Chain A
């Protein structure tokens, strides 16, 4: 049986995290810098990759849940490290092992469609109004719009 550590290792290898040269291009394009006032080294793609490689218990780290999975970092990375694959894989593992689950579930279909910090950002940008449609994943939102308009 693979231990959780081994599984993390597999995900890190698959995403190419070991190739990271810490050039910082990913940080330059990362939208998280504009979204979170507490944007830190640990939250940035470069910093997070380093943390994955250097520390244990990465699944319990709160910085796993800030990323939007846009993959802009991969587009500019000289070593083609896929930050999205890393984050996505680790998130899936965290949910599967029950280590953490900082993501919102759709009110209608139950799918985990957005991480909580990202949704908090959206809520804050839209004037803090409690917009009920934000509780739905995009597919359910569209379907509900269909049901309400036909």
Chain B
């Protein structure tokens, strides 16, 4: 038999008839059912009432929610569609039968569904259930906004939730960043590099290192003052980068308006900043003056507004030039190049604080809002897709707390290193 295309070129394909929707603005508070495994007793009431709506019978095998039991661990879990922000089932469905409505609810359109089961294959938790008797695909549709299972769960393990309305941390962080910027750049003539107010000085740790290397002497008060920031970083992490660095503030502003094109792979190693630090210290030792400080963008931005007003053209050139890296990735300078960040990262490795993603109410792969908003890109999407709580490397985290702020379910938290906050936390 000759191999012949069943469909000549001028026939329509599914992309012509039902194209994939363009990325649309999602509702700010999308509805979802949050499940609390601690409260679930495995009574299957949710299955009973769900099936009562699906097939007008009490038939747990025909429900859109499945209760799993583990006799060995004594735990129960309800598998149901989480109405992902970026549903994988929509991508995979060959007949484009699945749609995400304006209300955020993901629905299977019976007119187009051929019950192939590919959505079940694509879903990270196989939430679309295949009804054993008919082969029909049953998937939660939130009962069009008023879920029955939530109403009837005797232990209130299922909760219908629209996400928390007010995200307030950013209302604290932006003003703080702005005020510090004002303080260090405009008001004070001195800079972060060598902030002095009489006896007290708060020099940059990298600058201090370069100073020591260049002058081959250690000024104890200078070193002690530099250690203040280091000690605070050991306790609280790289909060300086997220809340106080004036260049960081500038990058955040620029980042809000520039598009992102990505960076070439060779630039995307987080070890480069340690190399820059080593180069800065080595260069200072060799050249006899603080080499890096002359081209440092943080210093540049601090020094750009001198007593004479905005002057010193050379200074004005440096920090905007480096800020153009924002078209690659957000905070790419901070991620890959900043030597100050490198010193603070080394200190933060021993920190007492950690960010925990994935408390029981975390929606993992279906939400990934934290990974979206993290400026340092350290929240592992692959782990979320696998249903694992990602380990957040605190040496990279700048503690901007955008993840904690934006998580609609309060599943991202800030905790002490010794506290166990999520199930199955990877050690």
* A→B interface (CB under 8 Å): 27, 29-35, 39-44, 47, 51, 68-72, 114, 118-119, 121-122, 125-127, 129, 131-134, 138-139, 141-150
Contacts and interface: CB of A to CB of B under 8 A. Distances in A.
Given A147-B70, A150-B423, A141 B114 contact: no
Contacts of B290: none
Contacts of B79: 142, 145-146
Interface centre among A126, A132, A148 (most CB of B within 10 A): A148
Given A29-B114, A68-B116, A146-B77, A42 B1 contact: yes
Given A70-B116, A125-B91, A27 B125 contact: no
A31 B114 contact: yes
A43 B3 CA distance: 10
Interface string B1-39: 101111100000110000000000000000000000100
A142 B126 contact: yes
Interface string B62-81: 00001010100101110100
Contacts of A148: 386-388, 423-424
A133 B115 contact: no
A32 B95 CA distance: 10
A71 B75 contact: no
Contacts of B91: 125-127
B423 A138 contact: no
Contacts of A42: 1, 3
Interface of chain B, main secondary structure: loop
B287 interface: no
Contacts of B75: 146, 150
A116 B75 CA distance: 34
A125 B423 CA distance: 31
B124 interface: yes
Contacts of A119: 121
Interface residues of B, number: 42
A35 B7 CA distance: 13
Contact of A33 (B7, B37, B117, B124): B7
B371 interface: no
A147 B126 contact: no
B175 interface: no
A68 B122 CA distance: 13
A42 B76 CA distance: 46
Contacts of A138: 120-121, 126
Interface of chain A, main secondary structure: helix
B92 A71 contact: no
B135 A143 contact: no
B231 interface: no
A114 B424 contact: no
A138 to B, nearest CB: 4
A51 B6 contact: no
B88 interface: yes
A118 B118 contact: yes
Contacts of B92: 121-122, 125-126
Given A122-B118, A134-B121, A144-B387, 19 more contacts: A30-B114, A31-B114, A34-B14, A41-B1, A41-B6, A43-B6, A47-B1, A71-B115, A126-B91, A133-B124, A142-B77, A142-B125, A146-B79, A148-B423, A149-B77, A149-B360, A149-B387, A150-B37, A150-B423
Contacts of A68: 116-118
A40 B122 contact: no
B385 interface: yes
Contacts of A150: 37, 70, 73, 75-77, 360, 423
Contacts of B122: 122, 125-126
B413 to A, nearest CB: 16
A126 B6 contact: no
A114 to B, nearest CB: 6
Given A72-B114, A146-B77, A31 B94 contact: yes
Nearest to B360: A149
